[in-house]
Amino acid sequence: GIEAASRTYFEKPASDLTLSEAAMLAGIIRGPNAFSPFKDIEAARAERNVTLGRMVHYGHITQADADTAKNESLKIRPKHRRVIQDTYVMDAVRRELDRILEEENIEYGGLTVITTIDHTIQRAAELSIERNLSKVEKTPGYWHQTRKKWLGMPAARRGRPEYVQGACVVIENRSGAVLTVVGGRNANESKYNRAIQAERQIGSIFKPFVYMTAFNRGMMPQTWIPDGRIRPGEIDGAPRSWSPSNSDGKYGSYITAEDALVRSRNTSSVRVGNYAGLEKVNQTAIDVGFVQGVPNNASTYLGAWEATPWQVASAYTVFPNNGDWYRPYIIQEIRNANNERVYPGKGDSGKLVVSAAEPGATWCVSNILQKVIDRGTGRRVRSLGYLSPCAGKTGTTDQYKDAWFAGYTGTLTCAVWVGMDRPQKIINRGYGSTLAAPIWADVMKTADRLGYATPKFKPLRMTSALLCRWSAKRATNGCVQHHAAYTAHVPADMLPAPNDYCTIHPLRAVAPRAGGRANRPPPRAVPVNPEKRPPKAIPLE
């Protein structure tokens, strides 16, 4: 090890080291990352001096020898590195490398880092973002700075770019390996890595996790949910006056939970969240990688809070993984100057997996998100020519400030964000399906051509039972008489217990009269717990 370090730092064999150089190497042993001369030469010199002082204390050298060594000019070998373009990928690698070196106490110099990036998909994402956002800048009604205008300014007058930006992250589902990181339109023009650093309101992108939590707690995709206006005091943890609206301004009576998610209904989704419980929904957010910023009020259900594209892509992998969440990573392997693997360690895959939800609940959400693509807010993907089996969700925040699309196949998950660095309206009717979905489709078509396509999602053991649409429990004769019973085909772990019967409808209920109220659910009192701080603006879709 000393021989390798000697050649790494001083380009000479250990037998030719001076006292000063040898003392520096001895100091590095105590903290290879903190005291590496490649990283912090002053810290390395200070630790060298500490080592020399100890040698004097134990009588190995004289004070005069130590003083001479301290004054010696050290000739550290320049770090040999390839000339690498400063890109958003390199920024992501540096961030993860710093974390790994600190946690694993790996010597900083002479390292070879192998990443998970797929350069073909990376390039496709970069080109698609630029091509599609250039089209946005030519859209009638777009009034912001354009990239073309910014590039046409004298360099001294340009300032920070203020044109529309985008970000994209692609992750391999079954490992967490990050294949693509695009943090903006050009890293040379803006170092700000929006894929990792930009925390933006996520809107309806979060709704699937609310439904997943509710399904975990017993709700079924075919359970009926009210779609009318929110009543004062109806929602726990919200002010009595809080009443989010549906994006189209229309309200119905009842729809199934499945249809509510396919159509991205706000009022129904809030009620689904209320059923799941705020504490449970917040825990779900943490379990899938949204580690901070989740508010403790009902606006959580509508995604009126911020997250990064990296976090969104990572969170969505829980659906194709049937409940398992893998921590995303971009560094696959690190080798030292002797070509020895130093990360991951022996017997360590470097992967972290968390069971975030029951397989049945995530399967049900995934099944619904496939319908979002085929007939819901994400159907633009099909018209753009992406025909492989996939699932996904759009997201558009208040006043069209952020446009999202997150979706996946059985192999890969991709999240795309479009917006301005200073949150403001991008364009009128700038929906996620309009601005972000085309980029997603381009990226995933490239991935398919490279062999990442899968014919279908992972199956689960399915079963059937007669259930009640109101209670989501096993149906009674009363449920049948009230026309509330239906045959559910769901994953086995979703079914209620064999003796868990509906308590809304009596066993021997009288059949309802035509036009009567018997087939409506009885009103239910909802506890009130108003928040002092009002929720944020409500996402559009």
Residue 522 reports pLDDT greater than 50: no
What backbone torsions phi and psi does residue 113 show, to the nearest 5 degrees?
-110, 125
pLDDT at residue 80 is higher than 80: no
Burial 179-196 (b: 16+ CB within 10 A, else e): bbbbbbbebeebebbbbb
**pTM of the complete model:** 0.80
pLDDT recorded at residue 421: 96
Q: In this structure, are residues 535 and 238 in contact, taking their beta carbons and an 8 Å threshold? A: yes
Residue 247: which pLDDT band, with cuts at 50, 70 and 90? confident
| Pairing verdict, β 402-408 and 391-396 | antiparallel
Task: Say whether 471 sits in a helix, a strand or coil.
Answer: coil
Q: Picking from 447-461, 467-481, 518-532, which range would have the lowest pLDDT averaged per residue?
A: 518-532
Please name which of 314, 374, 32 lies closest in space to residue 173, comparing C-alpha atoms. 314
Q: What is the mean pLDDT of residues 436-453?
A: 95
Query: How is residue 240 written in tokens?
Result: 């009595």
| pLDDT of 150 higher than 60 | yes
In the chain, the percentage of residues whose pLDDT exceeds 90 is 67
How far apart (Å, rounded) are the C-alpha atoms in residues 266 and 243? 10
Residue 324 is predicted with a pLDDT of 93
**H helix or E strand, kind and range, residue 185:** none
Nearest residue to 40 via CA among 50, 28, 52: 28
Separation CA 452–CA 443 (nearest Å): 11
User: Token pair 């790494």 is at which residue?
Assistant: 8
- Residue corresponding to tokens 């504490």: 279
Element (H, E) at 419: strand 412-419
Architecture of domain 2-71: Orthogonal Bundle (1.10)
Dist. CA 7–CA 9, nearest whole Å: 6
Across 144-158, 394-408, 521-535, least confident range: 521-535
* pLDDT tops 80 at residue 430: yes
Is residue 513's pLDDT more than 60? no
Q: How far apart are CA 213 and CA 358, in angstroms?
A: 9
Segment holding 177, helix H or strand E: none
Residue 512 pLDDT exceeds 70: no
Q: Residue 354: which pLDDT band, with cuts at 50, 70 and 90?
A: confident
Residue 266: pLDDT above 70?
Answer: yes
Residue 341 or 172, more confident? 172
What is the pLDDT averaged over residues 118-130?
A: 97
Angle, CA of 140, 141 and 144, to the nearest 5°: 115
Q: How far apart, in Å, do the first and last CA atoms of the chain sit?
A: 59
Residue 534 pLDDT > 60: no
Distance CA 283, CA 509 (A): 40
pLDDT, tens digit (0-9, with 9 covering 90-100), for 284-328: 999 999 977 688 899 999 999 999 999 999 999 999 999 999 999
- Facing residues of 464 across strands? 489
Tokens matching residue 107: 């010597």
Of the candidates 350, 346, 353, which has an alpha carbon nearest to the alpha carbon of residue 331? 350
8 — pLDDT class (breaks 50, 70, 90):
confident
Nearest Cα neighbor of 88 from 217, 11, 236, 194 is 194
3-state helix, strand, coil in the chain (%, to 5): 35, 15, 50
Going from the C-alpha of 127 to that of each of 166, 186, 295, 508, the distances in angstroms are 11, 10, 36, 65
Strands (E), 87-192: 112-115, 165-172, 178-182
Question: What is the pLDDT, as a whole number, of residue 400?
Answer: 94
| pLDDT band at residue 521 under the 50/70/90 scheme | very low
pLDDT for res 338: 78
pLDDT at 38: 75
Q: What separation in angstroms does the CA of 422 have from each of 165, 397, 489?
A: 10, 14, 47
- 72-81 burial: b if 16+ Cβ within 10 Å, else e: eebebeeeee
Give the Å distances, CA to CA, from 473 to 398, 463, 502.
37, 15, 5
pLDDT value of residue 14:
86
Which of 93-107, 126-140, 342-356 has the lowest average pLDDT?
A: 342-356
Band of residue 351 on the pLDDT scale cut at 50, 70, 90: low
Residues 6+ apart with CB under 8 A from 13: 3, 6, 7
The two structure tokens encoding residue 529: 């717990």
Q: What is the pLDDT of residue 496?
A: 92
Q: How far apart are CA 258 and CA 222, in angstroms?
A: 6
CA distances from 199 to 290, 294, 405, 463 (A): 11, 12, 15, 41
Residues in the chain: 541
pLDDT grade for 99, boundaries at 50, 70 and 90: confident
Instruction: Name the residue with higher pLDDT: 318 or 346.
Output: 318
Mind giving me the DSSP string for 18-85? Answer: -HHHHHHHHHHHH-TTTT-TTT-HHHHHHHHHHHHHHHHHTTSS-HHHHHHHHHSPP-PPPP------
Closest C-alpha to 201, from 446, 483, 401: 401
Confidence of residue 35 (pLDDT cuts 50, 70, 90): confident
Whether the CB-CB separation of 418 and 139 falls below 8 Å is answered with no
What the block records as the tokens of 149 is 């205008």
- Average pLDDT rounded to a whole number, residues 159-180: 96
Question: d(Cα 106, Cα 98) in Å, to the nearest integer?
Answer: 10
Higher pLDDT, 128 or 335: 128
Mean pLDDT of 465-494: 92
> Quick check: helix, strand or coil at residue 349?
coil
CA distance 81 to 79: 6
d(CA 430, CA 501): 46
Place of tokens 């360690």: 345
